[in-house]
Amino acid sequence: MLQIAFIRENQEKVIKALAKRNMDATAIVQEVVQLDETRRATQVELDNTLAESNKLSKDIGELMKGGEKAKAAILKEKTVLLKEKSKGLAETAEQLSVELLEKLYTLPNLPADIVPLGKTPEENLNIFQEGDIPVLHEGAQPHWELVKKFDIIDFELGNKITGAGFPVYKGKGAKLQRALINYFLDKNTAAGYNEVQVPHMVNEASAYGTGQLPDKEGQMYHDKTDDLYLIPTAEVPVTNLFRDVILNENELPILTTAYTPCFRREAGSYGAHVRGLNRLHQFDKVEIVRVEHPDKSYEALEGMVEHVKNILQELKLPYRILRLCGGDMGFTSSLTYDFEVYSTAQERWLEISSVSNFETFQANRLKLRFKDKDGKNQLAHTLNGSSLALPRVLAGILENYQTPEGIVIPEVLRSYCGFEIIN
């Protein structure tokens, strides 16, 4: 969430920055500034009223001590009126605060200066590409055919048990899935990330804290009875570990990793581009989350990008890195890099990781602060990235590593799998 003080002092800057998201924020910015001015004026009036009431209470006490009951009675009548006034002002101030907060929740994060202009994914900036695209043998197939051929993932069985988008992994498919999870976690912990296991359901406060609410309410599975949400990513529970926390500056940075299943309603289109593992309602993902000093967060972001690059280099998958344009960035992000793996059988790029810096946007919602060297509380910066999302990585491996003899397992995964080929 943007800080109201910053908006108030930088109205034109905020409007200009949000225009990069193809959003005309003029009206909403003016509205929140006016609401804030009214709220602050109401608070000043409330404070003055309470101060006057407290002074009269002291004066009444002095008058009673001096035996001047008649004068005290007059002042008591005034205090009654002041208490009624203060009650009304307090209610108004609270109402204005709630209204202001609701308005602030509708404003996305400001894009960083280097975020390119654009409205669609086609306008994202390709900043890096690596790896040779393999030439497949004649008769090569997309992964949804390969998994049937080798009986390693069953979409129809998942459909019977739950519904579309909930696959069942079988045999070597299940082992490969587990191998990828363990490999990603080992890579992350070796890089200094502390592994945690977190709940797969979160409360409303947690969903608001990381920005899933109110922006993505319709995209999450919601248990109305207990008012809990199935997590769309481990980012939500992991980042909320630090909600309402004041850190010491010397505790930064904090690096955390977690494996979780992820649940997304993903309502929308159907067709070849969402077939098989391309889009699921339940999938596995290993996440990395960082809490950083504001002066070091962009250096940390570059480090996260290099970390994901290293994993893809070891998997020997052809990939590219995109700097997302303003129109394609997530609601909470200041700067996002997407990683895409090339699917040779599908002849298209598949997103497999997103690495983002949120600056203070999440921290402001979370009240995640640190005490600087001068003893002042500052908002920390939060970052997160997929390291990695499994479905499309698995799709890339199945398609790019297929041979007439079967699907060869990437060398780095063989010790985790216990086999070298799926045939």
344: DSSP letter: T
Measured in degrees and rounded to the nearest 5, phi and psi for residue 25 equal -95, 10
**Bond prior to 261 in cis (omega within 30° of 0):** no
202 phi/psi in degrees, rounded to 5: -130, 160
Domain ranges in the chain are 4-105, 121-422
Locate 128 and state its tokens.
């890096």
pLDDT tens track of the chain, all 423 residues? Answer: 999 999 999 999 999 999 999 999 999 999 999 999 999 999 999 999 999 998 888 888 888 888 888 888 888 888 899 999 999 999 999 999 999 999 999 999 999 999 999 999 999 999 999 999 999 999 999 999 999 999 999 999 999 999 999 999 999 999 999 999 999 999 999 999 999 999 999 999 999 999 999 988 889 999 999 999 999 999 999 999 999 999 999 999 999 999 999 999 975 545 556 789 999 999 999 999 999 999 999 999 999 999 999 999 999 999 999 999 999 999 999 999 999 999 999 999 999 999 999 999 999 999 999 999 999 999 999 999 999 999 999 999 999 999 999 999 999 999 999 999 999
How far apart are the C-alpha atoms of 358 and 242, rounded to whole Å? 15
Q: Map 200-242 to HEC letters.
A: CEEEHHHHHHHCCCCCCHHHCCEECCCCEEECCCCHHHHHHHH
Taking only the tens place, the pLDDT of each residue in 116-168 is 999 999 999 999 999 999 999 999 999 999 999 999 999 999 999 999 999 99
How far, in Å, CA of 185 to CA of 191, rounded?
10
Fold for the domain defined by 121-422:
BirA Bifunctional Protein; domain 2 (3.30.930)
* Distance, CA of 61 to CA of 146 (rounded, Å): 87
Fold exhibited by the domain 4-105: Helix Hairpins (1.10.287)
User: For residue 374, which amino acid is it?
Assistant: D
Residue-wise pLDDT for 55-92, tens only, equals 888 888 888 888 888 888 888 888 899 999 999 999 99
Residue with tokens 């997590």: 231
Q: Could you give the residue ranges of the DSSP H alpha helices within 140-203?
A: 143-150, 155-161, 171-190
Residue type, 366: L
Predicted model pTM: 0.93
Which uninterrupted H or E stretch holds 394? Answer: helix 390-400
